[in-house]
Amino acid sequence: MADFAHFAVACEPALGSEPGAFLAAYSEAKRTAESELLDNSLVAQAVIKTIQRGEAPTPWEERPQALLDRLGGVMSEQELRQPRWPKTARGLSGELKRITPALLASEGISVTFNESRSTARLVAITWPDDYRPRDEPQY
């Protein structure tokens, strides 16, 4: 994508575009895609709810199954029955890996995985001390 962006910026004068128009449009499209991803991810909603309610330990490090159980505790029964809700720790890890870039870019929430064979597999979730959600969610 970096090569494409570099090429598109170089083409702006020939296309009659204002300087920086491509990067502005690209940045806005990226923000929109990240926002939609988080809005459609039940796991992202559960992570944000847990942090907002102060129900997340600090530091927040848990095994994937314990994390799935904790996140499930803030969701309604109807949400837990949705096909988008992970049923296993492995499914949760996959969904977290998929949404991590958007969580970090939009919310400042970082998710890291310790998958060392010599220690317990842990998921660590961190957020800024002054964390406020990007929008007041409708979760």
pLDDT digits (tens, 9 = 90+) for 105-122: 999 999 999 876 666 789
Q: What is the dihedral of CA 93, 99, 101, 106, to 10 degrees?
A: -140
> For residue 11, what are the contacts with CB-CB under 8 A and spacing of at least 6?
22
pLDDT digits (tens, 9 = 90+) for 18-66: 888 888 888 898 889 999 999 999 999 999 999 999 888 888 999 999 9
Q: What angle do CA 111, 133, 35 make, to 5 degrees?
A: 75
Q: Indicate the angle between helix axes 89-102 and 42-52, nearest 10 degrees.
A: 80
Six-digit token string for 120: 């317990």
Q: For residues 69-80, give the mean pLDDT.
A: 96
Where are the domains positioned within the chain?
A: 1-37, 41-133
DSSP state of 137: -
Q: Of 6-20, 51-65, 67-81, which range is least confident?
A: 6-20
The pTM (predicted TM-score) of the whole model is 0.81
Q: What angle do CA 51, 133, 1 make, to 5 degrees?
A: 110
